[in-house]
Amino acid sequence: MSRKGKQTQARQRRNLITESWKNSPISEQYRTIRTNIEFSSIDRDIRTILVTSAGPGEGKSTTAANLAVVMAQNGNSVLLVDADLRKPTAHYTFGTSNMTGLTNVLTKQVGLEEAVQSTKTENLSLLTCGPIPPNPAELLNSRRMGLVLERAQELFDTIILDTPPVMAVADAQILASKCDGTVLVVSSGKTEREEVKKAKEQLLNAKANILGAVLNNKKIESGSYYYYSNN
């Protein structure tokens, strides 16, 4: 990789607060989200969790990554899947290669086990996006995607999927119907109320099981705060 490429990757790499500052208030809120999701699974196993937002830049990818970390810290084997085949970021977040990933698995170039990468977090594995395809929605809506999720559940306790924003493309709706639960991320002061309503309607129309919403960037005194709310 060129020097410029390394600098770009370094700039885009996210700080996973649940790893770097486990005792912070924000990390505690992620653990609260984890607990609430566990309570949601009393009558139904919630093993595949989709994380999305109404629009871009609302923190869905950061939320998905940190949620995956706290679930792994709880002793579960977790697979984080970067299912945003249009603007993937998980490889930046974890500082890994994106040469091989989900798109390679969906096009049968490699098996799931070959594409999955380990991370520095114990019990947490990562399936990056892989090369960006010309037909994201078609790949995600394929029978192969369903088989990949089935195989992932044989290998891991929990699978978390980071997907594109609901209002931008149909990808999240397509995947929501294949997952046990969906979490909608909302950015305080940025996401419009009407956008949230429309996003929720579109997800429900896709037969999504909406577990709740995560409100982030909410200013509480001197710090930012994340919290989870049921529908």
* Residue-wise pLDDT tens digits, 73-112: 999 999 999 999 999 999 999 999 999 999 999 999 999 9
pTM attached to this predicted model: 0.87
* φ, ψ for residue 206, nearest 5 deg: -90, 10
Q: Specify the CATH number for the domain of residue 189.
A: 3.40.50.300
Contact 215, 189 (CB under 8 A): no
For 147-191, write each residue's pLDDT tens digit. 999 999 999 999 999 999 999 899 999 999 999 999 999 988 777
C-alpha separations of 61 from 45, 50, 64, 147 in Å: 23, 11, 5, 24
Give the model's confidence band at 216: pLDDT under 50 very low, under 70 low, under 90 confident, else very high.
confident
Specify the higher pLDDT residue, 90 or 227.
90
Are 161 and 179 in contact, with CB atoms under 8 Å apart? yes
Which of 59, 8, 40 is closest to 224 using CA atoms?
A: 59
User: What's the domain count of the chain?
Assistant: 1
How many CA atoms are closer than 13 Å to the CA of 105, on its beta-carbon side?
27
pLDDT digits (tens, 9 = 90+) for 2-12: 444 444 444 34
Instruction: Give me the pLDDT at residue 3, please.
Output: 47
- The whole domain housing 91 covers 3-229
Q: Are 226 and 185 in contact (CB under 8 A)?
A: no
Per DSSP bridges, beta strands 124-127 and 117-118 are antiparallel
Average pLDDT, the chain: 88
